[in-house]
Structure 1
Amino acid sequence: MKTLVVFDFDYTVVNDNSDTWVIRCLPDQSLPDSLTQSYQKGQWTAYMGRVMSYIGDQAVSPASVRSVMETIPFTDGMTELLTFISEHKSTIDCIVISDSNTIFIDWILQAAGVQAAVDHVFTNPARFDERGYMEVQRHHLHDCTRCPVNLCKRKVLEVYLAERRAERGVEYRCTFYVGDGGNDLCPTSCLRGSDVVMPRKGFTLEKLLVKLKDNDLVSLKARVVAWSSGSEILHELKTSVSA
């Protein structure tokens, strides 16, 4: 019986938005208004494809993009938390479900030396083409009306849990879901009473969970524990693992 930790990435593992952080690699660190105004709600992946195409047009090399992405700050206490997880892989599994992309997340985790903590990253696939332009694709197709068109985190989590159960007979004694944003609300609906949802204090997920509780529109079975640093998550995790 292992413990599963599920992380969002932006404003959770790292203390900024990785997709907007990349703009720092541009000479003037800004995008033209015509590009920023092209974003349509729920179509973030398509928008980021245009952003990365523009960055390629400015002759910014993949190496330059990587050097900028590796400077994004981690949220306080997160590297210590991930280090603890990497040292306890016999009892703790860890996945990331994010609306960022595979390249950014891999670069950032590797630069911090904490990639060993994460067993799998579920995010939008990205690659550099023959010109050195980064292309981003949708993670998957889904029919959830509450989530962005490219990613339903609940579906990802449900499939992961089912596959672990079918392939290796793994049943997690406790799942910790750690996030901050509106797209982190949907996966909390598949958590059990033995699980813990951990919203970042002062961010959207915490506010949505408060409204959920007040309106009692949907039954949330998991315990809610808000956090402001990785050390608070680590305390909860250590308490659960040692119980």
Structure 2
Amino acid sequence: MKTLMVFDFDHTVVDDNSDTWVKRCLPDQNLPNSLTSSYREGHWTEFMGRVMNYIGDQEVGPDRVRSVLETIPFTGGMMDLLSFISEHKSTIDCIVISDSNTMFIDWILQAAGVQTAVDQVFTNPARLNELGYMEIQHYHSHDCARCPVNLCKKNVLEVYLSEKSNGGVEYERIFYVGDGRNDFCPATCLRGNDVVMPRRGYTLEKLLKRQTDEAPLRARVAAWSSGSDILKELTASLRP
């Protein structure tokens, strides 16, 4: 039986938000107030579509966007963790579930040379349209009231585990590593043998501390500050 590592991306794998990092490709590195004030709670993907349209209107091409995204820093110790996972693919599967988009994540992982660590990325599909502007779509639709309209990470994880089980793959232990509000929902579907790892000082840790009877948690909680903390938990679980 294998181990499954599940990662959020922004403020987890990388030490910032790739969606907000992208504004650095603009000449003044800022978005107009009329654009930033257009965000509605739970509708981040639509907002990012407007951001990328604005960036395209400023004649900033995809090559410039990519070069800027490739400079986003990885969280401390994360490169060593991903390298370890790459070296142990026979016993460790690794997926990313993120509310970013396919192009940003692929560019960042490839530039760092760690894409071999990640087996699958579940995130909002992105493509370049005929003008060379990036367009972002919802990952899926769902009926979870707790999550943003475009992505329920619990739904994604449950479908992934079901498909793996149907293919004969069962996981001895799942590690779920994240930081944000939308990482709480998938934590509630973990089993007693699993581990949810919230980043210290971030929203997920606070939510886990005040969990309610409506969303009981079975998994063990182990907070982390760096990839080294996660690697210690992982290697300890792999010992006979």
* TM-score, normalising length: structure 1: 0.98
- Following superposition, the deviation at residue 105 of structure 1 comes to 0.2
Residues 107-134 of structure 1: per-residue CA shift (max 9 Å, x gap): 0000100000000000000001121100
Residues 117-153 of structure 1: per-residue CA shift (max 9 Å, x gap): 0000000000011211000000000000000000000
Secondary structure, in 3 states, of the residue corresponding to 1:190? Answer: coil
Once residues 130 and 218 of structure 1 are traced to their aligned partners in structure 2, the CA distance between those partners, rounded to angstroms, is: 45
- Following superposition, the deviation at residue 194 of structure 1 comes to 0.4
Instruction: Tell me the equivalent position of 1:28.
Output: 28
Secondary structure, in 3 states, of the residue corresponding to 2:80? Answer: helix
Instruction: Tell me the equivalent position of 1:169.
Output: 168
What code does the residue aligned with 1:239 have? A
Correspondence for 1:229 among 206, 209, 226: 226
Residues 28-177 of structure 1 mapped to structure 2, 5 A cutoff:
28-166=28-166, 168-177=167-176
What code does the residue aligned with 1:28 have? D
Once residues 53 and 118 of structure 1 are traced to their aligned partners in structure 2, the CA distance between those partners, rounded to angstroms, is: 29
Structure 1: 4+ residue segments shifted above 4 A:
none
What code does the residue aligned with 2:98 have? S
Overall identity of the aligned pairs, in %: 73
Aligned alpha-carbon RMSD (Å): 0.7
What code does the residue aligned with 2:216 have? S
Secondary structure, in 3 states, of the residue corresponding to 1:99? Answer: strand
Secondary structure, in 3 states, of the residue corresponding to 1:121? Answer: strand
Number of equivalences: 240
Structure 2: state its 5+ residue gaps.
none
- Following superposition, the deviation at residue 241 of structure 1 comes to 1.3
Residues 147-179 of structure 1: per-residue CA shift (max 9 Å, x gap): 00000000000000000011x211100000000
Secondary structure, in 3 states, of the residue corresponding to 2:71? Answer: coil
Instruction: Tell me the equivalent position of 1:218.
Output: 215
Once residues 219 and 208 of structure 1 are traced to their aligned partners in structure 2, the CA distance between those partners, rounded to angstroms, is: 12
Instruction: Tell me the equivalent position of 1:190.
Output: 189
Residues 21-61 of structure 1: per-residue CA shift (max 9 Å, x gap): 00000000001110000000000000000000000000001
Secondary structure, in 3 states, of the residue corresponding to 1:185? Answer: helix
- Following superposition, the deviation at residue 217 of structure 1 comes to 4.4
Once residues 216 and 36 of structure 2 are traced to their aligned partners in structure 1, the CA distance between those partners, rounded to angstroms, is: 38
Once residues 219 and 133 of structure 1 are traced to their aligned partners in structure 2, the CA distance between those partners, rounded to angstroms, is: 43
- Following superposition, the deviation at residue 219 of structure 1 comes to 1.9
What code does the residue aligned with 1:174 have? R
Once residues 138 and 197 of structure 2 are traced to their aligned partners in structure 1, the CA distance between those partners, rounded to angstroms, is: 26
Once residues 26 and 140 of structure 2 are traced to their aligned partners in structure 1, the CA distance between those partners, rounded to angstroms, is: 30
- Following superposition, the deviation at residue 216 of structure 1 comes to 4.5
Residues 167-223 of structure 1: per-residue CA shift (max 9 Å, x gap): x211100000000000000001110000000000000000000011xx544321000
Once residues 218 and 47 of structure 1 are traced to their aligned partners in structure 2, the CA distance between those partners, rounded to angstroms, is: 29
What code does the residue aligned with 1:219 have? P
Once residues 216 and 150 of structure 1 are traced to their aligned partners in structure 2, the CA distance between those partners, rounded to angstroms, is: 26
Once residues 113 and 132 of structure 1 are traced to their aligned partners in structure 2, the CA distance between those partners, rounded to angstroms, is: 26
Structure 1: state its 5+ residue gaps.
none
What code does the residue aligned with 1:192 have? R
- Following superposition, the deviation at residue 242 of structure 1 comes to 1.7
* TM-score, normalising length: structure 2: 0.99
Once residues 140 and 82 of structure 1 are traced to their aligned partners in structure 2, the CA distance between those partners, rounded to angstroms, is: 27
